[in-house]
Each structure stands twice: as structure tokens, then as C-alpha cells.
Structure 1
Amino acid sequence: MSSDKPIYFKGLNGIRAIASLLVVIWHTDRFVSLFGVIPKGFYNTGMASRAVDIFFVLSGFLITYLLFAEKEKTGTINFKKFYLRRVYRIWPIYYIITFLTLILMHFEIIPKVNYALESTVLYIFMLANVAYALKIAITSINPLWSIGVEEQFYLIWPHIIKRASNYLKVFIWFYLAVLIVKIVCFKLFSVKMPSLVSFFYHWRLNIMALGAMGAYLVFNKKKILSLVYRKEIQLLAWGILLYSCLVKPIHFYTIIDSEINSIFYLIIILNVATNSKTLISLENKVFNFIGQISYGIYIYHLTVIYVLVYLFKGVGINYFLVHILTLLITIVVAKLSYRYIEIPFLKIKKKFAVVESSNVKQ
């Protein structure tokens, strides 16, 4: 990549598109019963959760690569600029959907919840994953739990990149430490402290660290990438993703299923983004469009479902029509959000870039 151009990885919008569409489709199947329609039941496979893991791997990969580039360029990490970039990218529509939800709850368009005050405080402080673990989350903004996890990752990760020297060793130990904590909690506290177990089960910082390992391999052009790029490895990874969508994600042991599946997601990301001979290219206009607005799609889709439930109260509606309306309206809302809310903040975010990046080809 040329140093005078923004860092751009081809196909990452395609990854974002796939992950966001999987979340919407699987969540729609879960909540279609609110319309009085019988769900098909494929939500129960857990693929929506695996789709969020795709986002985690991708985020860990991209953030770490950019931090590597910044440290190489300047010799350090500018924490202030890093956190301001995250604020301008994540906070605007996070808080918009949070406060919009409170308004919709007030008018009973979205059902009111118990512990509303406690939940609201946790959401305001970006601890949506804590609300989720305590089972006091607001259902229409349940997906915000993953934003809480990402924000907690961002709190510590630039400090690790700045201070570490043997990156791969640090990443592996970090990955294992989080995994061990998850397993210990699962083994010891499943009955007595289920909220703690839920918190650490969803606290997938190690999945983001897995993405960081991928960034290390790419940034340092490690020879092991030649193995990752092999056709049979690509086919295996894509085959597992396809099987996960059509049947169910591969399952060995609940507490480590994210870790196992995410290895194959990383293989897909590395090939799509960095392999000139990738078997499957996700670089096209449709995926680029959906990928650009994927954050909004992820944030808004459940609210769209609940608003549709309110509007279609007492009106018969077809299962597939629910899916079509949910997807189309979510895309329209996300596009408007991107155009009129996110882009203005992204322009401000760009002012704090030490290493410029882009989600569109220059």
C-alpha cells in the first residue's frame, strides 16, 4: 500500500455486509412472533451471535493494523486522537438510538421494561454488555451489548500496542488469559453467579485479539500467510461459514464455540482483504453500499422491527413480508443516518487521523 494514500483493505465492506445481514435476518426470525407469525426457528442455531463474532474479528484486525501503522510512522500512539476517533465514529448513533428508544418506550411504541432507570444508566455509560449480562437490557437495543465490549477493548488495546515489543506473544497471552477466565467462570459459577458467567461469555475481547493476530501477520508479511492463502484452507473456511448459515454453526463446547468459529472468520477476512488470489472477492457495489452503512443496519434493525409491530398491530402479515419490510426499512434508515449523521462526524474524525484509512477505494 502506498504511504501517501489512505490504508484500504478490499472486501472488508463485503465482510461487514455479510455480518450485518446475518444479524438482521436471524433476529427477524426470532422476533417475527411479535407479529403473530410462526417463526421458522433458525434463529435458535445461534448464527446471529456468530455474525457478531465476525464483527469482533474484523474490528480487532483493522484497529490493530492502523495502530501498527501509526506506531511505525510516529514511534508512538497518540491516545487522545485515538479515543476521539472512536468517539466520533461510535458515539453519535449509539446515543441517538438509546435516547430514541427511551422516547418510544414513553409512548409505549416499544414495551416498557423493568429496571428502566438502572438499564438507562448502564447504556449511558456504554455498559450495555453489563445490562445484557444482568438481564435488564432493553430488548430493542440488545445489539448494543457488543458496542460495550468493543469500547472496553479500545480502552486497553492502544496501551498494549504502545508498550509491547513482542506483539504476537502478548496477543496470544491476552487471548488465553481471557479464555481461561471465561472457562473458570463457566465451570465454577454457572449456578451461583449466572450473570457473571454471561458477562464473561459475551466479553469477547480475545476474539478481537484474534483479529489482532491477523493484523500482525499481514503488517509483518509473515510466511504463515502462504498457508492461510491456500485454496483448500479458503474452501474450508467458506464451507464452514456456509454450513453455519444453512444448518448451524459448528459446535464443540459452548464456552469456546466463538473461539473456534472465529478462526475460520479470520481466515476469510485475511484472504478477502489481503490475498490477491482470493477465491471469493467481496469487492462490488452492492457489498460496498451495505458495508458502508452496516453500523447503522446493526444499530437500528431491532427498533425497526418493534416500530413495525406497533404499526401492524391487529393486521395480518406474512412471514416473508416481515423480513422484506424489516430489511428494506432498516437499509433506508441506515442510509439516511449515514448520510446526515455519520458522515458529518466522520469528517470531524478524519481531522484526528494520524494514519489515514478509508472504507472506499481511492
Structure 2
Amino acid sequence: MATPTPVTLGHRGPEPESDVSSREGADQTPSRYYRPELDWLRFLAFAMVFLLHAFPSDPAKYAILGIPLWFAQAIIAPIVQAGGYGVDLFFALSAFLITELLLREKEATGKVHIRAFYLRRILRIWPLYIGFIVAVLPFDVFWLGIPFSYHVALLAFTGNWHIVFTGGSPSLCGNLWSVCVEEQFYIVWPNLMARAKTKRFAAMLIGLFAFTCLYRIIYVYGTPPFPFAVWYNTFTRLDGFALGGLLACALHGRRIVLPFLARAAVFILAVGIFWGIGRVPYGGYYGESPAWTYPLVAAASVALIFAFAASPPRTTLGPLLQALSYLGKISYGLYVFHGPALRLADYLLAGASPEWSWIWRMAFAGIFTLVLSMISYAVLEKPFLRMKGRFTFVRSRPE
């Protein structure tokens, strides 16, 4: 079947269709879907989290770089404070991509292959996840005194709930809670998609978004186990998944291309939301503010995905964009390794000048994380990723 050429908003294409969108181009058939722009967005999500963990929230510390205090207070500190919401961007992006791929799988083969889905998830997530837990377990237990029960919970992909009910701990595996949330969610996700038509599934996602917002209001105004528990509770984090999946349903089978200025406006709006929430007390992470900050963050995350997904098709990538695509490929490792890298930097720089220590800490951790992630991707992850092809019905990112 012929596929019309993608058109830019506001200009009539060669086919007698709406000027808003067109059917997919040849590079995006039911059996293939890959957008390098979304890899760039993966790296942006990691960079946000790294920003929160590696950069100081105290505006005065930026004076060493010659940055005026007023600028650090008004611009830098709120952006740093909002960096943790990169996790929400990960959630929404993951839901968008997996929903799109499963919709294409259903279109190409007539059904969602649930067993194959779980095998693909295992091959993508488990090697690094389990390998990392095993590697840091002795340091966690014997050096930091982290209870072994936490690692058991992580291996059962319930580590976030262990944090909710125990108050958390300074584990080297601390970042893995978000992987637990994703894996819990994807126990249900493909089963719903397999049994529901696209429109019905989209209605379920709207209901899920509403449920999450209501549950979170009740939760934050009730008595959570500790103030930050709202951040780790699976049921308070589902709106990003819901909106990401809803965007995939809305865009499926349509190739929307926004002009550059429109995409830039959406990007600036989303960043402005993150910046504004970063100015809320405690960054909007806990207290009563999550009742409204979390859904705003979910909406901003989906807006970013839409802005990137609505880019014109690309036939070639320059060196910079290729580098960004690669960083997106290894973003899982970047996320996993950056926490221990920062802890190692703290240990090595214990006697450094306090004015410069955060800069050296950030630089060391960034380089160390990058090197570890490159090695992990090439040696540990890639061999398993190659095996995914046996269980893949829709080709996505080339490994």
C-alpha cells in the first residue's frame, strides 16, 4: 500500500488528507519504528537527574564560576531542583515507546505477543540490573550497613515499596527504585493492550490518569509513612505512564510534523513548567504540593515527547546528533552508575577545597559514569540486546 509523504503543519501535501498529519513514511512501517530524537530525549532525562544529584542547590556556590547570585537564585537553582523529574520523563517516554511498538505489533501480526514482550524486557533490563545489584551488594551490606532485605526486594522488583515502608537508606542501588516501578507497571500493560481495542485502551488510560490524581490527593493529605513516600509509591506515579501511552494512541498511524518554531515553543513551555515547579518549596516533591505538581510534570514530559516526535524525518545525522543518539542508547547505564560514581567522588575528594569540590565531583562522576556505561553497554548489555531479535515483531532502535 502506498504511503503518503509526511507533511509539515500548515502545508498541503500531495495526498488529499488533512494538513495536520499524514500516514507514516517508509521509515516507519508497522514492522519498524525508530526515532533518534527520542534517544536524545532519553539522554535529556538522565541529564536532569544527574543535574539534581551532582550540582549544588545552594545558589551561592556558583559564585566561583562568576555567576551572579541573582541569576543562580532565579534560574539555575530551580532548574537543578527540578532535575529529579527526569524520572517522570523516563516513565512517560517508556510508556509512549512501548505502547507504540505494541500497537504496531498488533497491527502487523494481529495480536500482542505477551510472552515475547516479557522476554524482551528481561533481556533489556535484567542483565545490568541484576549484575549491578550483585556487584555492589558487599559494599552496601558490609560498608554502608544496608539491610539485605532491601536487596531481596530489589531482586523481586519491589524495592520502591521497601523504601515506602522503611523510610529508605543510602544504598548504592538507590536509583533502582524507578526500574521497580516500571517493571511493576509492565506486568499489567501488555495484558490490557492485548485484550482491548485502541480506543477502549485509550479510555482506560484516561481513567488511570484520573485515578492516580485522586489517589495522590488522598495520599498526600492522609498519613503517608514518611513525607517522601509519595515519590516512591507506584500508585502515585502512574499518570506519566498514562499520558505517555495516551500520546502513543493519539499519534499511532499518523505522522505529525511541527514547524521548528512550534516545536521550540512547546519545548520552552515544558522547560518553563519544570523551572516553575523547581521554585516550589521542596521542589514540589513532597508535602501537599505533589497533588498538583506531579500531574503538571507528567503533562510537561508528554509535551516534550510530542515536540521531539513531531520533528521532520531525518535521513542522516551529523556527528553531534549521532553522539546524542549514542548517549541515549546507553542512558540506562548512565542512570544506574551515576549514583555510585558520585559517592566515589565524595570519598576521593573529601579533603578538596570546598569552593571547587563540587566542580571536581561533577566532572569526575560524569566521566566515570560515561566510561562505565560504555563498557557495560558493549560488554554486558549488547550481547543480550542482540538476542531480542528472536522475540521482536517490530524493529526499533538498531543496536
How would you bin the TM-score normalised by the shorter chain? 0.7 to 0.9
2:223 maps to 189
1:259 maps to 295
CA distance in 2, matches of 1:202, 1:49: 18
Contact 1:129 1:202 in 2 (8 A): no
1:140 maps to 172
1:96 maps to 131
Q: What does the per-residue CA deviation read over 1:58-94, in whole Å, with 9 as the maximum and x for residues that have no partner?
A: 1010000001011111221111110010011011111
1:73 maps to 108
How much has 1:341 moved relative to structure 2?
0.6
Which amino acid is 2:292 matched to? I
How much has 1:241 moved relative to structure 2?
4.1
Q: What does the per-residue CA deviation read over 1:276-320, in whole Å, with 9 as the maximum and x for residues that have no partner?
A: 299xx9981221121111100000101111222333444556221
Which amino acid is 1:330 matched to? T
1:268 maps to 304
1:140 partner SS: coil
**RMSD of aligned alpha carbons:** 3.2
Q: 1:198 and 1:315, CA in 2 relative to 1: closer, same or farther beyond 3 A?
A: closer
How much has 1:168 moved relative to structure 2?
2.0
How much has 1:170 moved relative to structure 2?
1.6
How much has 1:5 moved relative to structure 2?
6.3
1:27 maps to 53
Residue 298, structure 1, aligned to residue 335, structure 2? yes
Tell me the TM-score normalised to structure 1 length. Answer: 0.83
CA distance in 2, matches of 1:142, 1:188: 26
State the identity as a percent: 25
Which amino acid is 1:176 matched to? A
1:208 maps to 241
How much has 1:357 moved relative to structure 2?
1.2
Q: 1:254 and 1:86, CA in 2 relative to 1: closer, same or farther beyond 3 A?
A: same
Candidates 191, 207, 216, aligned match of 1:159: 191
Which amino acid is 1:64 matched to? T
Q: 1:160 and 1:346, CA in 2 relative to 1: closer, same or farther beyond 3 A?
A: same
Residue 353, structure 1, aligned to residue 392, structure 2? yes
How much has 1:269 moved relative to structure 2?
1.4
Q: What does the per-residue CA deviation read over 1:295-350, in whole Å, with 9 as the maximum and x for residues that have no partner?
A: 00000101111222333444556221111111111011001000101100101122
Contact 1:149 1:203 in 2 (8 A): no
How much has 1:231 moved relative to structure 2?
6.5
Candidates 14, 23, 43, aligned match of 1:17: 43
Matches within 5 A, 1:52-131: 52-106=87-141, 108=143, 111-113=144-146, 116-131=147-162
How much has 1:117 moved relative to structure 2?
2.3
How much has 1:232 moved relative to structure 2?
6.7
Q: What does the per-residue CA deviation read over 1:131-169, in whole Å, with 9 as the maximum and x for residues that have no partner?
A: 222323443222111101100111000011111122321
CA distance in 2, matches of 1:201, 1:194: 15
Candidates 365, 387, 394, aligned match of 1:326: 365
Q: 1:247 and 1:320, CA in 2 relative to 1: closer, same or farther beyond 3 A?
A: farther
RCO comparison, higher one (Cα < 8 Å, 6+): 1
CA distance in 2, matches of 1:235, 1:30: 28
**Between 70-79 and 263-272, the greater mean CA deviation after superposition:** 263-272
Which amino acid is 2:240 matched to? I
Q: 1:202 and 1:327, CA in 2 relative to 1: closer, same or farther beyond 3 A?
A: farther
Matches within 5 A, 1:213-232: 213-221=246-254, 229=258
CA distance in 2, matches of 1:346, 1:300: 19
CA distance in 2, matches of 1:43, 1:296: 26
2:134 partner SS: helix
2:294 partner SS: helix
Contact 2:270 2:303 in 1 (8 A): no
Gapped regions of structure 1 (runs ≥ 5): 33-37
Gapped regions of structure 2 (runs ≥ 5): 1-24, 59-63, 65-71
2:181 maps to 149
Aligned residues: 343
